[in-house]
Amino acid sequence: MDQKKGKVIFIGAGPGDPELITIKAYHYLQMADIVLADRLVSPELLKKYIPSTTKVLLVGKQCRKGASTPQETINEMLIFHALQGKLVVRLKGGDVSVFSNILDELEILVKHQLTYEIVPGITAALGAAAYAGIPLTARGYATSVRWLTSYHNDLITLEEWKELSMTDDTLVFYMSGETVLQVVRQLTQHQIAENKLLDNLEQDTTPHQRVHIYNLYEFEKKFSGNITSPALLIIGKVVALHHQFKWIKEEKRHIGYFDDMQGMLLEAKPSNAINLLTA
């Protein structure tokens, strides 16, 4: 008789604050046999909300900086453990469906006829805006918000940049910390209105959150060139509301919150998963 197949639960861990997970996510973390966690998951969440008897594997991506676990290896680990009859939690930062590799992982599960659930989480745009006191669609400022990414230059055409410069929508750029200068140049070259500001939010919702407000036309003169990942860009008239509605006092120390992951006694061993799959 074939061994009973397990199940994979995709969970959005939120943008940083460990308390920004849902009750449903918490219950699944308590029941999981194994958790495959991305880099941008709060170390405190892993320590507090997952039983010490649960195996946790760190399979995070490093955004071209440092070691990363290949997507193919993550897929293999999901399949291997689910075929062993285990309840597998795939824990991703933010929300699992917003700028995430969930498509690759869903496809491999469907291919192997494995069951799964998707538990949504608070995506970075919502967490960052809330913790910076910026209502993304404040009445009289913006009626829509757009979530975009521009981590390399050809993702957005010149015609699209022109339209983005003219719209009154609030613009939120994910994964664009390394291309922030190109984003600003494109918007200013296409004459974005001067009353629209840029907010560069670093490590939002964590104890090391930093908010940097810029006039887009003065950005290049004032920008230091250093951005601590993860970072999010919010652009629009609503950014000016931060000064009135900010509610978090920023800490003076400026370190990488998610770098604390390196100090945890957790280790991803993707090579073991590959060996087991091919044994």
- Pick the catalytic residue: 38, 95, 199, 204? 38
230: helix, coil or strand?
Answer: coil
Per-residue pLDDT at 211: 94
Q: Give the pairing type, strands 145-149 and 170-174.
A: parallel
The active-site residue out of 5, 47, 61, 237 is 61
Residue 274: HSE in the Cβ half-sphere, 13 Å Cα cutoff: 10
Q: Tokens for 190, please give them.
A: 């296409």
61 is catalytic: yes
What is the pTM assigned to this prediction? 0.88
Strand order through the sheet with 55-58: 55-58, 34-37, 87-92, 7-12, 115-119
Taking only the tens place, the pLDDT of each residue in 74-122 is 999 999 999 999 999 999 999 999 998 899 999 999 999 999 999 999 9
Q: Is 38 a residue of the active site?
A: yes
- In tens, the pLDDT along 197-234 reads 999 999 999 999 999 999 999 999 999 878 888 999 99
